[in-house]
């Protein structure tokens, strides 16, 4: 397999979404994929104390207003073969940082996208997230909802396998269009952004 690159962008307040993102990263790297992670951090973070009773969190989530965030320094959507986006589910929808991110990069991420959500209950929130992203022009090929990073290891593995399958398909497409002196022959450096 040529050197394929994946970006994993996620927001995690309690650590559950981060744990899933890191497991996906590990599984992809074990297959030789270069993976860069970008953890979104709100400029004005929510308090962990009584998280879901925080009035600002409730307002930001339900109103879908844009929030200020960091954590994407160096992110260039064109540098990746696949982009993975992960979010916790709050009040039945993705976190405000992820909503803001997908609006900000609408039309800029032209590569295939896989999305995952983390939630306390088993519901297909990721399908809702996928549909929202597709309505914005994203090409979402894979989605999954994870309730427990430890218990759902099989789902996480299956998700990573789906990303690998998309990378293999992209590789075949690239090989049919490139010359022997492709820039892809150079291994890119890895990036981890967890400010």
- For 116, the enclosing helix (H) or strand (E) is strand 113-118
* Residue 191, domain member (yes or no): no
* Residue 186, domain member (yes or no): no
What confidence score (pLDDT) does residue 170 get? 80
pTM of the model: 0.84
What confidence score (pLDDT) does residue 27 get? 97
* Residue 86, domain member (yes or no): yes
What confidence score (pLDDT) does residue 45 get? 76
The DSSP symbol for 107 reads T
* Residue 171, domain member (yes or no): yes
- Please tell me the total count of domains within the chain: 1
* Residue 185, domain member (yes or no): no
Per-residue pLDDT of the chain (195 residues; tens, 9 = 90+): 567 999 999 999 889 999 999 999 999 999 999 999 999 998 887 766 666 677 777 777 788 888 889 899 999 999 999 999 999 998 889 999 999 999 999 999 999 999 999 999 888 999 999 999 999 999 999 999 999 998 999 999 999 999 999 999 887 765 545 544 444 444 444 555 554
66 three-state secondary structure: coil
What confidence score (pLDDT) does residue 190 get? 54
What confidence score (pLDDT) does residue 194 get? 53
What confidence score (pLDDT) does residue 193 get? 58
* Residue 121, domain member (yes or no): yes
Q: For residue 89, give its domain range.
A: 5-179
- For 94, the enclosing helix (H) or strand (E) is strand 93-94
* Residue 192, domain member (yes or no): no
What confidence score (pLDDT) does residue 195 get? 47
Tell me the C-alpha distance between 105 and 103, whole Å.
6
Instruction: Spell out the alpha helix ranges (H) of 45-177.
Output: 55-63, 96-104, 125-135, 153-177
Instruction: Give the domain CATH number at 102.
Output: 3.40.50.360
* Residue 140, domain member (yes or no): yes
Tell me the C-alpha distance between 10 and 46, whole Å.
16
């Amino acid at each position: 397999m040529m050197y394929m690159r994946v970006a994993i962008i996620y927001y995690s307040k309690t650590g559950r979404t981060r744990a899933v993102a890191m497991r996906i990263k590990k599984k992809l790297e074990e297959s030789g994929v270069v993976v860069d992670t970008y953890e979104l951090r709100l400029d004005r973070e929510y308090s962990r104390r009584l998280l879901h009773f925080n009035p600002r969190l409730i307002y930001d989530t339900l109103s879908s207003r844009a929030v200020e965030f960091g954590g994407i320094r160096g992110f260039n959507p064109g540098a990746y073969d696949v982009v993975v986006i992960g979010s916790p589910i709050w009040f039945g929808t993705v976190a405000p940082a992820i909503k803001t991110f997908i609006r900000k990069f609408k039309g800029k991420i032209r590569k295939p996208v896989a999305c995952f959500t983390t939630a306390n209950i088993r519901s297909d929130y990721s399908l809702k997230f996928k549909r929202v992203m597709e309505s914005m022009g994203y090409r979402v090929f894979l989605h999954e909802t994870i309730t427990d990073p430890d218990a759902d290891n099989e789902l996480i593995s299956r998700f990573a396998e789906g990303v690998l399958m998309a990378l293999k398909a992209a590789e075949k497409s690239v090989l049919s269009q490139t010359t022997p002196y492709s820039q892809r022959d150079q291994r890119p450096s890895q990036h981890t952004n967890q400010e």
